[in-house]
A and B are shown apart, each in its own frame.
Chain A
Amino acid sequence: MTDDKDVLRDVWFGRIPTCFTLYQDEITEREAEPYYLLLPRISYLTLVTDKVKKHFQKVMRQEEVSEIWFEYEGTPLKWHYPIGLLFDLHASNTALPWSITVHFKNFPEKDLLHCHSKDVIEAHFMACIKEADALKHKSQVINEMQKKDHKQLWMGLQNDKFEQFWAINRKLMEYPPEDNGFRYIPFRIYQATTERPFIQKLFRPIASGGQLHTLGDLLKDVCPSAITPKGGDCWFLMHCTHCSVFPQNLSLR
């Protein structure tokens, strides 16, 4: 029998084979070899690319190096989106490995947020968790946690420690049995358009009539256009499982 844990484990250990190449205009002292890496889907680009950075910096002059950023087929990749989201959103039809171009110059200020240290990622990550819990439990669970629990969540993600992460995240995913679900389902529907990058709404797991909502209901409600055959462009980020990619036929329980 399949266990919840098996699903969670597979979601957690989702990997995208990636080929990093240095942007052609970057000035190097010698030729930069492409760098191949398996990226965890649930993590953030700037969190897992220390190796990439080190690899390319070796061939560059110190003064040429400023903040690193990534681009795929001309689109700057937002580091604050989970890697899996970026891939599914922009490159789901591409052949593997996923080819990402690495830049060290001309930071696209209007498209990307700066990420000078991992503290920034941590702050963003914790903000997402808190926002989701506000919707799920009126922030009760996250607020009752100790500082070290917050730290463990983050360290779990940072060090790819499934058990460490889920030992804490489990608490965020529980609800009292009499509640029949979370207060609201935290979700965002991302679109590959720049004018409205994502849609977010309050959405209860149970309809006023008492039925359980399905993801289909959610889509119908939030983003009717996505129901059209073209709907494959939508990418679901469930903050409730934090940063997990789910197939579309998911019921919201």
Chain B
Amino acid sequence: MAMPSSLLWAVDIFGRVYTLSTVGQYWELCKDTQLEFKRVSAVKQCCWGIACDHQVYTYVFSGDVPIRYQEETYENQRWNPVGGFCEKLLPSDRWQWSDVSGLKHQQLDSFTLPSPHWEWESDWYVDENIGGEPTEKGGWTYAIDFPSTYTKDKRWNSCVRRRRWIRYRRYKSRDVWAKIVSQDEPDQLPDPFNDISIGGWEITDEPLGRLSVWAVSLQGRVWYRENVCHHNPEGSTWSLVTTPGEVVQISCGPYDLLWATLWEGQAIVREGIDRNNPQGISWSIVESPSSENGIMHVSVGVDVVWCVTKDRKVWFRRGVNSHNPCGTSWIEMVGEMMMVTVGLNNQVWGIGCDDRAIYFRQGVTPSELSGKTWKAIVSGRESDRSQTGSSTSLLSAGCFFTDDIQNQTSAVIQGDADPSSDTELPTSPASTALLGAAAAGDGPASQADTSARLPVDPLHAEQGEATAASARNDKDNLDMNKPPGNPNPSAELQWINIDLKEAQKHPVLSVSSFADTSSLSSLGAFSVGAEDQYGADEHPLWAWVSGGGCLVDLHSPLKWFSAPSGLSSSVQSLSLSITPAQTAAWRKQIFQQLSERTKRELENFRHYEQAIEQSVWVKTGALQWWRNWKPHKWMDVRVALEQFTGSDGMRDSILFIYYMYHEEKKYIHVFLNEVTIIVEVLNEAKHSFALYTPERTKQRWPIRLAAATEQEMHDWLSLLNMSCCESRRIQGPPSHHAIWSVTCKGDIFVSEPSPELEAGPQQMPCDQMFWRQVGGHLRLIESNSRGVVWGIGHDHTAWLYTGGYGGGFIQGLASSADNIYTQSDVKCVYIYENQRWNPVTGYSSRGLPTDRYMWSDASGLQECTKTNTKPPSPQWSWVSDWYIDFSAAGGTDREGWQYAADFPASYHGHKTMKDFVRRRRWARKCKIVTNGPWLEVPPVTLWDISIIPSSDADDEEAVALWAISDKGDVLCRLGVTQQNPAGTSWLHVGTDQPFISISIGAFYQVWAIARDGSAFYRGSVSPNKPAGDCWYHIPSPQKQKLKQVSVGRTSVFVLDKNGNLWYRQGITPSYPQGSAWDHVSNNIRKMSVGPLDQVWVIADKVQGSHSLSCGTVCHRTGVQPLEPKGLSWDYGIGGGWEHITVRGNATEASRGAVPDTTEENPAASKEGEDEESKGKTEHSKTPLMVSESQELDRNSVNC
């Protein structure tokens, strides 16, 4: 299986671009080898570079999900008595073809592809959907007049109508270097580029892949590329950013950090970069660490800055953060480097100035940002393994200065008369590039000359150029008619005439000293002449490296540092040669021999006394207990777990809790074989957990205990879990039929369904289900009855279940050893800044005395300031600073504010006259690192997923798996089988809008929900046609926006945004779309319909005998073939649950007679399905509740 990996990009001194994977051992040549490069700057999804023609190129990785952009235009018509609706509009009307506002004239044929890198996906077509509802054929929407609100129905007063035409274009130049074509006026084009840096994707929290692309021209000017984002990977135009001096190099971090180096040796730091102003506002100057040697190169990360001075010393900037991007002081680091690059996680790489090797900075951690030591990457090149000393490629030392020369180069390519180009075809571009280099040195006259002038390395060349630029600026009388980069005499010094054949033997020759001619001399003093011993098959010589897309994970070791030799590869192959099957056979053999021995030695002596008595084993400890009586609070208790070994060798355990009640010693006890779940409870301050039994589930009042330290809690949890599993004789991995659920905390639980669970009238109450925890942290899980289980994290990462068990705090024997991996998840903590308007100062943080806290949680009831808000539990750590969240529901203004008439109210994103209060949401990211039986499925991040709930199919048959990416693309996974549950690739299924939910039924019925709340049915999906053919729009239940769909065997249920559950009526094989929606229940948060058409939900507001719970697992009772909607609810574990999937459970019990009625759980019967809660019941502290779910709760039931 593919482990998630990322790439380190580098350019060798011959301009060839290589990548090194974090899971790889070899440098791989970039797929597109047509060009040589001077500089590259990479992020995860793409790389930008400056080729030797000084043009900018972008390399966008191919992926399963296409980059597509929707163009739209509106066709407008007006009714007149003669011809009805026609194209003839009033003179005061809008254009007949216009944009949505009517202000811009947009005919269909006025749309052209923005660059040669795009293609049309299809022709124009009419959109037959208005706000989630299907329109009549033709897509017309009607109104009284322009501009107005449009409806899908034509009325007597509908005088105008319009319809929306859409067409998609698709970016096609992926996995190749796409030249950035400028559409600007020729005289406004920037001069040739010299340096480029990309980053800034974290400035906004949008998942759209917005990038900041900064470039430096040869003249030292800084340019910013506008509008680079996911669906516009090339950006639109270059805009000039003024600088206090001539810039030679620039570096842009993932957030708002941007540094550049000036010709004079200082650094400049951009200030004021934020979401509304990604270009920033002003520059500050930072002096070089040493007065003699200016800064030559700088590289920045999230909050770190490294630089190299002209004497090649490496420096680390202290005190850099988002409030102080300039930092405080320089610290000198060990080592001499040509350049350094800061990548993801603030990891650092550099190019050594003596050996031109790439070094990785080891030991860079959040607490030690400057790291410990440099370690050389000794990975060889992929090509070196097969290549038998091809030296021709060595000659590709292209360095070009201008467009003019590039034209010459192409001429050479056409001519192809170069003697070296027929020696080796694959490197012919390199050879021609060499000729180009010759041209660069000598001018057009020497074009046909076979003597090449080798720039000894690109850095020299750049330096030469830079010198040229500087010199030109210094002397105004320099001839400006020359091409801007034409080398002046001083730069000429670095070019050496060598014979081509000679060059093949001695690829690199010594360079004449450049030191005297330039203030940047130190940059070029690397003498390759001394490096004769390095041929192409020796270690590569590097010119540039970019780690901006390279994520070095501290948990997975890199294979970069040991030479890939025959030895290690043979070790690898040998260790792989022991197959799991062999291991299993061997284990079985040993086991048999042991069994035989036991039989031999013990058979006749079992009546003998044991040497060591199996006595009662007790673990005791001091914990805190959330006491039973009011006022409820934590009290100190002694706890003892007593384990007995029965005569059959099985264990049972009792947990005793000893407490004082009115100075009287008392205790409560729990038989662990009655415990249904032990669950950690989210609490900032306490390490606490809850124990449920069926009785306590009915009460909604578990036993809650807290330990002093996390370790102590995990010891107890681990032990109690093991005892529970032992007493129920549960071990090993969950079965394929297991029911999976996820709490709002992200903890994962699994339950083995008994056959009685879906057994009609004798159905087992679901509060008796036993849940055990599985390591890892997820937002949702989907499974099917063939053991294919996928999960999605809060950070939308897709995870595949490995078949293991245990992990997390469950260590030792309760955990499988082989298939537990590190897992991490990232989520946001939100707080609110609240303000009230007053006539004197306008909005201020001074509220009315009755107001909420000025910094609060969503409800306003809890004070939450930036400083006192902690991560959700001690397992989480902050990974960002607080930032304004612009994605809050309801929209925000440019500063993130949402307005309302008063607290609490519904908020909107713009200020009106009636608004007296405003709030804005601040977010801070936190991360958990844990482990569990999960492996990442890179690279597409997901929002939803569904797996076909097939029950009886053979192993080889493909398993249909559909997903929604976090951008809303519908995807169909290919190649998923029971043997290969990860599948192979995603197939993109086109939609006209982003989607949010998807489900596939047992007979390939695919239903989906779009972001506008409408439902769609996918036609003709079958094993042979996995993606189906087209979408059918299904009208939503009246006035409801849908949010989730689940399709079982034949049943289709949807959930709307107000928590109503609906059943689709009238579905038949010949009419799979059904006819109408039938209301089933309210207060539902999430649902899962299984292969038996069983219906399970997460419900809010379930009333127990002691407390109310939100986020409760509920099971629909009385579901029968003739009664697919069922009759009532049976209440299970909760609250605090977020997600459940029963799609693996196809174990059908033999059904008895059809029941007349279904008994309802008496304890839970207070809350009937139709009964609206009066909101009077005590909403006491329920376990696992976080403010988020409380907010959700409030929203959905309006209490």
Contacts and interface: CB of A to CB of B under 8 A. Distances in A.
Interface of A: 1-7, 10-11, 13-17, 36-40, 43, 48-49, 51, 96-97, 158-161, 163-164, 166-167, 170, 174, 176, 178, 180, 206, 208-212, 246-247, 249-251, 253
A196 B610 CA distance: 34
A192 to B, nearest CB: 20
Interface stretch (B469-477, B568-576, B1031-1039): B568-576
Contacts of B593: 247
Contacts, number: 111
B571 A206 contact: yes
B111 interface: no
B567 interface: yes
Interface size class on chain B is 35 or more
A170 B604 CA distance: 33
Contacts of A167: 811-813
Contacts of B1199: none
A2 B597 contact: no
Contact of B605 (A1, A97, A174): A97
Contacts of B588: 1-2
Closest 5 CB pairs of A and B: A17-B605, A48-B611, A167-B812, A210-B571, A10-B594
B694 to A, nearest CB: 27
A161 to B, nearest CB: 7
Contacts of B629: none
A211 B817 CA distance: 23
A212 B575 contact: yes
Nearest to B562: A178
Given A96-B601, A167-B811, A2 B591 contact: yes
A43 B609 CA distance: 16
Nearest to B595: A10
B608 A7 contact: no
Interface in B585-640: 586-591, 593-595, 597-598, 601-602, 604-605, 608-612, 614-615, 617
B817 A36 contact: no
A198 B337 CA distance: 56
Residue from A10, A208, A209 having most chain B Cβ neighbours under 10 A: A10
A14 B722 contact: no
Interface in B691-723: 722
Interface in B936-961: none
Contact of B584 (A2, A160, A212): A2
A96 B614 contact: no
A89 B571 CA distance: 36
A195 to B, nearest CB: 30
B594 A38 contact: no
A157 to B, nearest CB: 10
A97 B732 CA distance: 36
Nearest to A87: B601
A212 B598 CA distance: 30
Nearest to B812: A167
A210 B610 CA distance: 46
A44 to B, nearest CB: 11
A195 B1186 CA distance: 71
Given A37-B611, A39-B611, A7 B605 contact: no
A166 B571 CA distance: 30
Contacts of B617: 159, 161, 164
Contacts of A176: 557
Contact of A96 (B587, B591, B604): B604
B1122 interface: no
B1153 interface: no
Contacts of B574: 210-212
B578 interface: yes
A40 B612 contact: yes
Given A159-B617, A167-B813, A37 B590 contact: no
A4 B818 CA distance: 11
Nearest to A158: B612
A7 B594 contact: yes
22 contacts: A1-B584, A1-B588, A2-B588, A4-B817, A13-B598, A14-B597, A17-B601, A37-B608, A37-B610, A38-B609, A40-B611, A43-B612, A51-B611, A97-B608, A158-B612, A163-B813, A167-B812, A170-B811, A170-B812, A178-B559, A210-B567, A210-B568
Given A16-B601, A249-B589, A251-B586, 7 more contacts: A7-B594, A17-B608, A36-B605, A97-B605, A163-B722, A210-B568, A253-B578
Contacts of A246: 590
A131 to B, nearest CB: 23
Contact of B591 (A6, A15, A161): A6
B722 A38 contact: no
Contacts of B817: 4, 174
A209 B573 CA distance: 12
Contacts of B601: 14-17, 96
B709 to A, nearest CB: 13
A158 B614 CA distance: 11
A43 B722 contact: no
B602 A2 contact: no
A41 to B, nearest CB: 9
A209 B587 CA distance: 26
A211 B557 CA distance: 22
Given A17-B601, A159-B617, A210-B574, A43 B611 contact: yes
A7 B590 contact: yes
B1142 to A, nearest CB: 27
Contacts of A3: 587, 732
A249 B617 CA distance: 37
A65 B806 CA distance: 52
Residue from B570, B586, B590, B722 having most chain A Cβ neighbours under 10 A: B590
B587 A7 contact: yes
Contacts of B722: 163
B501 to A, nearest CB: 42
Contacts of B586: 251
A43 B589 CA distance: 24
A10 B575 CA distance: 27
A208 B584 CA distance: 26
Contacts of B557: 176, 178
A180 B575 contact: yes
A34 to B, nearest CB: 12
Residue from A3, A39, A161, A166 having most chain B Cβ neighbours under 10 A: A3
Contact of A210 (B570, B597, B598): B570
